[in-house]
Amino acid sequence: MGFSNGAAWMEGQIIPIKDAKISVIDWGLTRSDITYDVVHVWDGAFFRIDGYLDRFQASIAKLRLEIPQSRADIKHILHDMVAASGLTSAYVSMVASRGTPIIPGTRDPRACNNHFYAWVVPFVWVIPSEVAMRGAHILLAGGNTRISPQSIDPTVKNYHWGDMTNALFEALDAGYDTTVLLDDHGHVTEGPGFNVFAVIDGTVVTPKSGMLMGITRQTVLEICAELDLPHEARDVSADEFLQADEVFTATTAGGPVPVTRVNGRILGNDAPGPIAASVIQTYWDWHKRPDLINPINYGKAS
């Protein structure tokens, strides 16, 4: 079997990514009744895997999913799967789905076979590395708002991307790299697969609600504390965001990335700002910290 394009763990087996399949009547597919989380591997080690496992387990509990695998089982599966793939820089997903109905046609979410699976592919950059080098160009979406947290809990990582997909079309059609969505109150939330930060009057600010509590977001806040950078999580208005001195994103799939244009406004002479540059450098330096990484044993997968 070849794993150069990635691998998956399903029903106790590690298989090539191309062979990974779920049922067409799985509620994870038909109802997006599913949660997942993503951790990355860099230079042969997981980065902050325990934080991702904490969030994944919290999401499972919030959705009232019950899978047979324990936290230790999941961690072991991820290690074995990545080791089998041979990938030393990778994007690793763990998934819990409502599954297929035990009784055909049931509308009872309790009457489904919940299940777990996982997969790994070569490292993914949410914002392509060449774009990150020059700084991303972002459109603050005007035609779409983020799904209300009263409808879909944004702290549970999910596949409800209708709002983000529509906003992406709006941004891409207008020549931007990606988008950031507002909530119904005009506050900044997040983009498709990333959190956002803005430097406002010398303080690094990130939205406090309406989005996923990213592990990379938390890492950036910890970096700010180490670098003695004033920082806070609070509501951020569209006007504040548009007038910020610096803007940058934060995601598992690529880390912090500078933004050099927002809605056509050029930031920092169209170059990454000094605070973003310092945060980015520290973020990748932290990938060498023994307390934050979990090396993979590629010599043996059990």
User: Which CATH number is 270's domain given?
Assistant: 3.20.10.10
Q: What is the pLDDT of residues 236-277, one digit of tens each?
A: 999 999 999 999 999 999 999 999 999 999 998 999 999 999
Question: What is the predicted pLDDT for the residue at 174?
Answer: 97
Is residue 171 in some structural domain?
A: yes
> 36 and 143: one domain?
no
Say what the pLDDT of residue 301 is: 56
Q: Model confidence at 143, in pLDDT bands (50, 70, 90)?
A: confident
Last residue of a domain, one of 67, 101, 122: 122
User: Strands (DSSP E) along 69-224, which ranges?
Assistant: 90-101, 112-122, 136-145, 178-182, 195-200, 203-206
Q: Is position 298 within any domain?
A: no
| 301 domain residue, yes or no | no
CA distance 260 to 138: 8
Say if residue 276 is in the same domain as residue 142: yes
**Residues 234 and 215 reside in one and the same domain:** yes
The span from the CA of 256 to the CA of 267, in Å, is 16
Same domain, yes or no: 100 and 154: no
Which of 102, 122, 142 delimits the end of a domain? 122
Whether residues 107 and 134 fall in one domain = no
Same structural domain for residues 139 and 265? Answer: yes
C-alpha to C-alpha distance for 86 and 169, rounded to whole angstroms: 35
Question: Is 228 found in the same domain as 204?
Answer: yes
Question: Is the confidence at residue 300, as pLDDT, over 90?
Answer: no
* 99-115 confidence digits (pLDDT tens): 999 999 999 999 999 99
**276 and 223: one domain?**
yes
Do 206 and 237 sit in the same domain of this protein?
Answer: yes
CATH number, domain at 48? Answer: 3.30.470.10
C-alpha to C-alpha distance for 253 and 167, rounded to whole angstroms: 20
Pairing of strands 90-101, 112-122: antiparallel
Q: How large is the average pLDDT for residues 82-90?
A: 97
What pLDDT is attached to residue 260?
97
Residue 66 has pLDDT above 80, yes or no: yes
Residues 6+ apart with CB under 8 A from 30: 24
**pLDDT > 70 fraction of the chain, expressed in percent and rounded:** 99
234 and 113, same structural domain?
no
Mean pLDDT of 166-192: 97
Give a yes or no: residue 280 inside a domain.
yes
pLDDT value at 224 more than 70 = yes
Q: Please, which pLDDT band fits residue 302 given cuts at 50, 70 and 90?
A: low
Q: Inform me whether the pLDDT recorded for 1 exceeds 70.
A: no
Q: Is residue 30 part of a domain?
A: yes
Q: Are residues 183 and 234 in the same domain?
A: yes
* Confidence bin at 122 (pLDDT 50/70/90): very high
Residues near 300 by Cβ (< 8 Å), separated by ≥ 6? Answer: 83
Question: What is the extent of the structural domain holding 233?
Answer: 129-287
Alpha carbon distance 253, 40 (integer Å): 7
> What mean pLDDT is predicted for residues 146-162?
95
Whether 297 is in a domain gets the answer no
Convert the pLDDT of each residue in 25-50 to its tens digit: 999 999 999 999 999 999 999 999 99
Say if 1 falls within a structural domain: no
Say if residue 143 is in the same domain as residue 95: no
pTM: predicted TM-score of the whole model, two decimal places: 0.95
Predicted local distance difference test score (pLDDT) of residue 299: 86
The count of structural domains within the chain is 2
Q: Single out the residue in 82, 100, 122 at which a domain terminates.
A: 122
